[in-house]
Each structure stands twice: as C-alpha cells, then as structure tokens.
Structure 1
Amino acid sequence: MLHSFNNYSMRHFRKDLLAGIIVGVIAIPLGMAFAIASGVKPEYGIYTTIIAGILISIFGGSKYQIGGPTGAFVPVLLGVVMTYGYENLLVAGFMAGVMLLLMGVLKLGALIKFIPRPVIIGFTSGIAVIIFSGQIANFLGLSDIEKHEDFLSNMREIVIHLDSVNLYSVATAIICFFFIMVTPKFLPKIPSPLIGLLISSIAAAYFFPGQVATIASAFGQIPNSLPDFHLPQLTLEKVHLLLGPAFTIAILGAIESLLSAVVADGMTGSKHNSNRELVGQGIANIITPLFGGIAATGAIARTATNIKNGAVSPVSGVIHGLSVLLVLLLLAPYASTIPLASMAPILMAVAWNMSERKEFTRVLRTKTSDSLILFVTFTLTVFANLTIAVEVGLLLSVILFVKRMSGSLKVEQVLLDPADKKVRTTMVNGGYDCPQINLFTVEGPLFFGATQLFEQSIMSAIHYRPNVLILRMSKVPYMDTTGEAILTSIVKHFQKQDGTILFSGMQHQPTTVMKRTKLHDRIGKEHFFDHTGEAIDFALTKLNIDKCIGCKQYAFHECTELCKGNSIEKSSEKRFLVQ
C-alpha cells in the first residue's frame, strides 16, 4: 500500500474518495443480502464489509481490489451454519484465513491458475443457481419455510408452501426488480441495487405497512455499532471437524480474489502480486471472525465499479469500508425496516450476473472433454455440494488430461529416404528395411500415461532381435520416473540379447533424469549422439557383415557394398545432418 503513495496527490485522493463512497453505498445492501442468504444475521455481512474491506485494501496485492462477502461463499457458509452452527462458522473462517496466509507466505498464488476454466465456470454457475433459487421464497413472501442443505429439498419446500404466497411481498420485489433493471439505462452512475432497495422499501412502508417481512421482524434490529472482540474457541476436535469446510472456504477465497485481481489488471494495465494478495486475504479472514464477520474475498463486480469510478490506489478500498461504518453508525435503525422481498431481487440479479451463461453455453457447444467437466462440476455443485463438485471436477480434469497426453505420444519406425536424406515412416515396408538396425522416432512426453504404447512398440522390434536399436528422442520434452523405468527395462532386455541401443537428440530434462538414475551410465555416453546421422554411422560399424551378404533390402546406401561382403568405407555423405 505504501508503494501506491508514490507521487500521490490531493487530486488522486479526491478520485479515491468518490470511488470509495460509491462502492461503499453499493456494498451495504449486498453485504446484508449475502449474510442473510448465508443463514446469518444481516449485520454480520456489514461487519465483514467494513473490517475485511479495509484489511484487504491495506495488505492485499492489488491496488484496486474491493473485498467483502460475495455470492460465491453463500452455499458453503449456509452449509456450515446449518451443520455446525454460527460459532463454528467463525472458527472455520478463522482457519481459512490461516490457510490463505500460509498459501501466500509459501508463494502458492501461481498455482491457482492450474485450476481448469471449466471447473471454475461449472461451480460458479452452480452457485448462481443456488443463490437464485434460494431467494424465491423471499420474493414470493412464503411463510414457514424451512431451509435445507440440498437443492431438491429446498425446491420441495417452496412447492409445498406455494399456497402461502404474499402478494404484498411479490409487489415489493417487483418494484425493486424494476428499478434494478431500469436505473442503469437512465442513471448509469447511480447504484441500481440501492435505488431499487430504497424505493421498494418506501413503497412497502407507505402503501402496505406491516404486510411484508422485514429484517427487523426476521432477525431483530441491526445494532448501530461494531460487535465486541471475541476469540473463537479453537480445539483439536473442532479443527479436525472443520478442516474440510475451512479448506473449501480458503480455496474458494483464493480463486475468487485472484480472478478479481486479474480482472482489475485487465481493466487498468496494472500487475497484481498474487502471493501478497493471498496474504492480505488471509489477514482479513483471520481478523474478521474475531468481530463476528463471515468469510470475505475479492469482489469482482465491486472491484470493477471501483475502477470505473476513478480509483487510483488502495485508499478507495479503505474509504469504502469507512463509508459502510459511517452508515452503520448513523442509519442502522432505518436499515432494519428493509423488507426481505426487497433483498431478493438484488441477490437474483447478482446470481444472474455471476452465472457466466455465455461461457457456459460456449463450452457445452464444443462437445469436448471440457464440456463433460463443466457439466459434472455444475451438476454436483447444485445437487451435492461445492466441495465434492470441485474435487470431482479436478480429478476428472486430471484423468482426461492424462488420457489426452497419452494419446499425443507417437512411436514410429522410420528409415532414411535416399531422395532427400530425411527419415520417414513411409519408407519402412516389407521390401525395404534393415533386419539388423531398427530406427524409431519417439514424439511426445514419456510419462506414466503413455508408457504402455512406448513399451509395446519398442519390444515388438526387439522381438526380431536387431543388432542395433536407434531411438530418436529429440521430440521428447519430458520423461517421468515411470517412463525412465520402462526405458531401463527395454535397455536391460536389449543388452541381454547382446544388442546395442543408441539415442539421438536427447533433450535436457530426459537426460537429467537418466543421469540421476544411473541409466545414462549403464547405456554409456558413447551411445548418445546429437544427430541421427551420427548414430547411423556408428550403428553400421556394429553390423554382422555375414548377415548382410545377399540381403536385398538396401535400407542404407552402404548396403550395395555390404550385400557383396565388402567392408564399409567411410561415407562421403554428411549423414550427421540428418536430425
């Protein structure tokens, strides 16, 4: 943050002040709405907006990041509250903060980019469905609704209680929804959720007072002060119990915050520090639960709004938090009168915007393995839970990636084309081959998923007992220990037959692996060549000339003399040019 103050001026401060106030106004209804959707009191969302918003701006790695409660956390936090209770939600949030802090200290920020895009789109769209469906009851004003952890039970609960629809609630929700949709077209600089919330709340209070459920009637009055400091009770039993939920919150927070930082980079041309961002997120999530707040992360929409309104430094994020604090201190009693039906359209709009419906449809239309990953992750997010969805999505991604990579390995027998001195697979046929020298081209990574093809191809050649086996490895960029083990087995088997195995064009990584396992020494450094032509010249010196007499294959230009029983003279051709 101190680095952001280089050349900072009063003009910059005025921009940060305006942006911070605007984002703060937007954050108030969102903070309360996300808290209610997460199964906790609305003031806890406000506390999170204030404390986490300020800390993330001070300690984070993005100049423009706005932190606070987000829709991504809703199904996770709701599940924790329903299963373990609010007190344990604070413990899980505290543990998640420690995990995020450690991730930043250990410089794991770059690893988030390895989470496949279909997995992110899948669980984001699934979360959007859960948020949207979770607000149907408040939109319709249904009474006696019991919340459940699973999607189908919640939908069944809505259907059962459809006869309790409150038309006043529906009217309130429609008014709010109308202004959310219309305001951006006519007053683009005014936060549409705030306008919708204010007008619908006023309409409900003036035209049908006492007819719709409000924050006060459902959760009690919102206090106009911050809660007291409270250290959650950490025990080994609780840590073990909440390890899974805490890890889910941490991973989700890391993904969401870094995605938001990347969006900010794209909008401003800046560059965030991913590890510092995780440290900032960790600090915020460690301290926020101590004051009753819920999990927080970078909010993409609020960060984008911050940038669009002229923010130039983290000061705008701090001002955003202070603005919410000021509203809490002065206007908390008025916030308690907000109808729940006015909050529902706000969250529905958030769900619609975060659904990534265009990306979702685009990936599905590809009808590739990514489509399957997306569909499975989305389905499990909605019908199971986010933890299972991400785990299965990642596992499926790994399996399909290994399958694709294993299919990329090619092992082909080749020979030199005398016309242009290049090796080709088409040259190998029944009437044109060398019974004593087998030449193979290997292309692609030699790892555990592809070793079976490699072993089968090479072992079938060894079965015919050639004198020399040449492996062209210039297009093998990577070899793991499984690939090395199979190669070792082939070398041992071939050497037992008194054969000679040669390598050409070995890349650095496979060579390093072979040296570390001593396979390089077993083969002998004299059997490694930079070019295929050099390997062929060496191989010709290992031929059994008696077998060459009468051979009509003529695989190499030297064969004309060898089939007559003549010795090999040094070829004048520059065969070492063959790669």
Structure 2
Amino acid sequence: MKSRFDFRPKLLAVLENYSKEKFMADLMAGIIVGIVALPLAIAFGIASGVSPEKGLVTAIIGGFIVSFLGGSSVQIGGPTGAFIVIVYGIIQNFGIEGLAIATVIAGILLVLMGVLKLGTVIKFIPYPIVVGFTSGIALTIFTTQMKDLFGLSIEKVPADFISKWIVYFEHFGSFNIWPFLIGVISILIIVFTPRFSKKIPGSLVAIVVVTIIVYAMKNFAGITGIETIGDRFTINASLPAPEKITFSMETINRLLPSAFTIAILGAIESLLSATVADGVTGDKHNSNTELIAQGAANIVVPIFGGIPVTGAIARTMTNINNGGRSPIAGIVHAIVLLLILLFLGPLTKHIPMACLAGVLIIVSYNMSEWRTFRSLMKNPKSDVAVLLTTFFLTVIFDLTIAIEIGMLIAMLLFMRRVAETTKVSVTKEVVDLSDEGEILHDDSVLVLPTGVEVYEIDGPFFFGIANKFDESMKVIGDKPKVRIIRMRKVPFMDSTGLHNLESLFRLSQKEHIHIILSGVNQQVHGVLTKSGFADKIGDDNICSNINEAIQKANEFVNHK
C-alpha cells in the first residue's frame, strides 16, 4: 500500500526478493557506472565554477540518496550538464553560499512537489520548452569551453553568452596550439572508442590516455603551456565536513527564482530519465517518491559543498545496459566514486583542462538534440514560437528567465487553443438531437416554445471564453422569457465562468428572464453548489438533460 504521501522507496520493494545473482549483476553495473561518472562529475563540477572534488562529492552523496530513497529501480543521480549554466550564473551573482541556499530551497520545493503528488503534473510541461532550453544549455556549455580548448589567456570570462564571444575574439591572439591538439585528440578518442569497446566509456579512455601523454610531454619533452586541473585547483581528496548554511528572508527572496529553476529543471530531468528507463526495463517508477528523493539529495548535498543533483539519463542508461536492475547498483556507484576520491583523488590534478573541454564539447553535442530541434521547426507556428523563444532566452539571458517566460507563453497559447475550441451557440426555434446520446423519445428534433432560447457552451467554461459568452448574450432581437444554458459539453468551470453565470443570472432577473441550466455534470454541479449559486437559481432549475429543461421552460411560459 502507498503511504499517505505516496512515498515508498524502490529499495524496500527490491530487498524483499533479492538474491546473490541480482547482487552480482548490480555490483558489476555499479562499478562500471562509477567509472563512467568519474570524468563527468569532475568536468561538470569545474564547468559549474566549483572545484573538481565538489563534483565528485555531489555524485557520491547525491547519487547515494537518490538510489536509497528514490522511486526508480535504476536511476543514477548526480551533477548533470543541464545545471552548468544555472549554477555558474548563481555563483557569479551570489557566490558559493548563494548557490548552497538556492539548492537547499530547490530541494525543499522538490520535496513539496512529491508530498503534494505533483509528479505526474511535471510531465505535462510542453515538449518544445524542454527541447528549447536543453538545446540552449548545450550551446552555452559549448561556448564555456572555448577558453580551455584554444588555450586562451583570459583572466576572467564573462558570464553572458554574447560577452563571452566578444572576449574570445579579442584574445584569440593568445591561441595555444598544444591545448587545442589535446582537446581535438580527446574528442576523437571519445568518438571512436565505442567502435572498439562498448563497455569502457570513451571519456574515461580519453582522460587516462591524454593525461599520460601530457604528463610525458611536460616531464620528458619540456613542453609547457598545457594547463591541468592541478594548475587551477587544489585537490582535497576527502569528504568535506558539513558546513552551516545561514538563511535570511532577504537571501531567500533574492534566490527564490533561481531555486525555482533548479527545482523545475531537476524534476523534469529526473522524471524524464526515469520514464526513459521504464521504457527499457519494463518497470514503473513512482514519480512522487522520486521527487522526494531528489529533494532530499538537494537539501543534504549543499551542506557538504556540493552542487544541484538530478537523475542523469546517460549514466542511468549505462546502468541498465550493464545489467543494473535495482537501487543497489546506484549505491555501489556512489561507493566506487568515494573510493576513487579517497585513494586516487590526488592523481586528478594531472588531468589537462583541454581534455575536460573535449569531454564537455561531446556532452554538449549529445545534449543539443539538433535533429529533434530541426523536426520541431516544422510544427505549428505556436510550437515553433515557444521553442525559439525558450532557446534564445536560455542562450542570451539565462535559464531562469527562459523557463519562466517559456512556460508562460506555452500556457497562454494552450489557453488560446482551448478558447478557440470552446464554442457558444444560440438556438431559438429547434434543438437538433440527432448527434447526441440524451434522446428520450423517437424525435430527433425538439421544437422550442415561443420565448425560449437555448445557449449551448461546447467546451470548458473558464476565463478564456468569458468575452465569447458575453458577446453571445448580446444577440439583437426580442428578449426571451426563458434562457436555457446547455452545459452538457462543459467538463469544468472556473471562478471566472461562475462569475459570468452569476452576472447573467442577476441581469436576467432584472429583465424578468428565467434561467434554466441543462446537462450539468457532477463536477460542475459541485462548483455551483459549493458557491451557493445552486441555491440562488434553485435546484429544480438545474436539469439533467435538454428534454427536462424544455419541459420546465414550457411550464414556466404557460404559467406566466
């Protein structure tokens, strides 16, 4: 049975029928995923503006919590490329402490989403928005790597997209051939490794091979000018001690938009990853439990200096492809990364920055979804508008603005489409019943008594069609004695629709016009009852079908 908050970690269900064979499969998968996650965690950490071990800490602690508490059997949590842009921007504007506060707030928001059972709602975010900001993030990540790829001598790279490229062109005279060659070699190794080995990730092969080459070049060939991680960062090969995070209403208000972006982005990416995994494994994840786990990870990780956590699609698929079928594999992956940090951490200082730039360029290419982007450009203009708006806002401004405005545009376009499909028609003589299922006799046409008009609302009765309904009420002609509002095709009504109906009722009372409602469904009837409108109009004037409503109208006309 589900708990009150729909929270039941997959780990509990898995352990009920766990076996040695399943453990061995999860163990091997976890080891491989841990190795795959190593270069990505380091690269994402550095690209986000923090030290490399912070990326590893995020993958270790965040990955463990996501697997331990999560609602997916195979989800692998950790830092992802999608967060690079937003994290880098927060650090630039608010510092490391600001990032920690924003991440904790985002974690709380994710937990609330899960507790309020909003897991399924997140999946309804329009696809053009997801593709737009994913492609925008990919281009931004690509842009951030130009300094290290070309070995440019730039003291501080600007945060925004356009300024970055201006600075790159201004400093292109400092181009260094050696980092460029290292970056290109790294890219080629990553691209061609799958032709020789499906198990060993190309990014790991590139880092090991290129690091050895650069070490030899520096120490035996006397070649300098190739910057490594150790030249830029001091590696702390241990888990950091927890640090206190100080909150105030001022910082919360300033960071809430960024926290909201982290939460929405984390929810979308983790649930998308879990859904893709379900399609491969045949399992079914619990989206609300997954959101609570993602939230818990993002609350805990910043205490140890980490960056935002979410489900990682590439690492999750690696887990599945290597036989992982339970959260144990994700826990093993976190332990493997911890052992690497503790015992091999100092060796990471020899990794060339240009090599990591090559890794992230491949990541950005895979994220770009350029084929999907191109196909969406053939869709209706409204979808194209949402796609391009989200894309350009992500690239030129930032992800927070892109998500907020993209979702706003998508909602407005959706409401316009719903309003366009909602029709209000007026009938004064006969009602055709041939296309419906409420005929109670042999006649397919009902003749309306003199002085009776039928107004039919076909679609949701919400604020989007308020004007349309008002315009239909202003039909020129003699005033009727009875107005039948036919609502059989109204699935729901909001407060504006209710206000509209109440205004019509008051106006009709002044003009001595009787109002009868027809075909009101249970949900709409509940709204009318709760608001008190059902008492005003009288329950006997809320009819179940048009036949009953016309009979009621006939009685009123004859007795008047």
- Whole-Å Cα distance in 2 between the matches of residues 78 and 421 of structure 1? 63
**Cα distance per residue 1:463-522 (max 9 Å; x no partner):** 521222223221111112211222222223223333333332222222222222333233
CA 1:223 to 1:498, structure 2 compared with 1: closer, same or farther past 3 Å? closer
Is 1:447 the counterpart of 2:467? The answer is no
Paired amino acid for 1:178: L
Alpha-carbon shift at residue 536 of structure 1 (Å): 2.9
CA 440–283 in structure 1, closer or farther in 2 if over 3 Å, else same: closer
Larger radius of gyration: 1
What TM-score, normalized to structure 2? 0.90
| Equivalent-residue separation in structure 2 for 1:400 and 1:141 (angstroms) | 45
Identity %, equivalent residues = 43
After TM superposition, list the pairs within 5 Å mapping 1:271-420 onto structure 2: 271-414=284-427
User: Is this contact kept in 2: 1:172–1:203, CA < 8 A?
Assistant: no
Following superposition, the deviation at residue 106 of structure 1 comes to 3.6
Choose which of 210, 213, 230 in structure 1 pairs with 2:243: 230
| Match status 1:45 vs 2:42 | no
Contact 2:243 2:303 in 1 (8 A): yes
AA aligned opposite 2:271: L
1:504 aligns with 2:514: no
Report deviation, 1:417.
6.4
Corresponding residue for residue 532 of structure 2: 518
CA–CA distance in 1 between the matches of 2:122 and 2:329? 27
3-state DSSP class of the match of 1:212? coil
Deviation at 1:443, TM superposition (A): 0.6
| 1:56-85 Cα distance to aligned partner (Å, 9 max, x none) | 111122111111111111011111111122
1:171 is aligned to 2:181: yes
Taking a change above 3 Å as real, the CA distance of residues 484 and 420 of structure 1, as seen in their structure-2 partners, is: closer
Q: Which residue of 2 aligns with 1:97?
A: 107
Given residue 14 of structure 1, which amino acid in structure 2 is its aligned partner? M
- 8 Å Cα contact 1:64-1:264 kept in structure 2: yes
The answer for the alignment partner of 2:3 in structure 1 is none
Describe the shift of the 1:464–1:198 C-alpha distance in structure 2 as closer, same or farther (beyond 3 A). Answer: same
Alpha-carbon distance in 2 for matches of 1:55, 1:469: 61
What are the within-5 Å matches in structure 2 for residues 67-216 of structure 1? 67-207=77-217, 209-216=223-230
The one of the two structures with greater contact order (alpha-carbon pairs below 8 A, sep at least 6) is: 2
SS in structure 2 opposite 1:336?
helix
Change beyond 3 A, Cα 1:217–1:502: same
- Secondary structure of the residue aligned to 1:450 is helix
Asked if 2 retains the 8 angstrom alpha-carbon contact of 1:416 and 1:422, the reply is: no
Contact 1:137 1:145 in 2 (8 A): no
CA distance in 2, matches of 1:256, 1:312: 20
Q: What is the one-letter code of the residue matched to 1:438? A: E
Give the drift of 1:542.
4.5
Aligned partner of residue 197 in structure 1, secondary structure: helix
Alpha-carbon distance between aligned partners in 2 of 1:203 and 1:422, rounded to the nearest angstrom: 77
Which residue of 2 is the match for residue 555 of structure 1? none
- Deviation of 1:540 after TM superposition, in Å, equals 3.7
SS in 2 for 1:472: strand
Query: What residue in structure 1 maps to residue 4 of structure 2?
Result: none
Summarize the Cα distance change of 1:92–1:469 in structure 2 as closer, same or farther, 3 Å threshold. Answer: closer
CA displacement, residues 253-281 of structure 1 (integer Å, 9 cap, x when unaligned): 22222221112212211121222222222
Map 1:538-557 onto structure 2 (within 5 A): 538-543=552-557
- How much does 1:312 deviate? 1.6
Q: Would the aligned equivalents of 2:429 and 2:448 in 1 still touch at CA under 8 Å? A: no
Q: After superposing the two structures, state which structure 1 stretch, 452-461 or 524-533, moved more.
A: 524-533
Task: Provide the rounded CA distance (Å) in 2 between the counterparts of 1:33 and 1:448.
Answer: 48
Match of 1:245 in 2: 258
Contact 2:261 2:403 in 1 (8 A): no
- Following superposition, the deviation at residue 167 of structure 1 comes to 0.7
Q: CA deviation at 1:153?
A: 0.7
Instruction: Specify the alignment match of 1:464 in structure 2.
Output: 478
C-alpha distance in structure 2 between counterparts of 1:179 and 1:82, whole Å = 33
| Distance apart, 1:45 and its partner CA | 0.7
Q: 2:15 aligns with which of 1, 5, 30?
A: 5
**Alpha carbons 2:149, 2:179 under 8 Å: kept:** yes
Question: Take 1:418 and 1:46, find their aligned partners in 2: how far apart are those partners?
Answer: 70
TM-superposed deviation, 1:28: 0.7
Equivalent residue letter for 1:329 = L
| Residues in 2 aligned to 1:422 and 1:173: alpha-carbon distance in whole angstroms | 67
The one-letter amino acid paired with 1:177 is I
- Indicate the larger mover: 196-205 or 2-11: 196-205
Assess if the C-alpha contact under 8 Å between 2:230 and 2:349 holds in 1. yes
Distance 1:81 1:518, change over 3 A: closer
User: Aligned partner of 1:128: which letter?
Assistant: A
Match of 1:570 in 2: none
Rounded to whole Å, the distance in 2 between the matches of 1:422 and 1:470 is 19
1:545 deviates by 11
Kindly indicate whether the alpha-carbon contact (under 8 Å) linking 2:386 and 2:406 is maintained by their aligned counterparts in 1: yes
The whole-number CA distance in structure 1 between the counterparts of 2:435 and 2:79 is 63
Deviations 1:141-190 (A, max 9, x none): 11125222211111111111111111111111111111111111221221
- Would the alpha carbon gap of residues 485 and 99 (structure 1) be closer, same or farther in structure 2, given more than 3 Å must change? closer
Map 1:483-494; keep pairs closer than 5 Å. 483-494=497-508
For normalisation by structure 1, the TM-score amounts to: 0.87
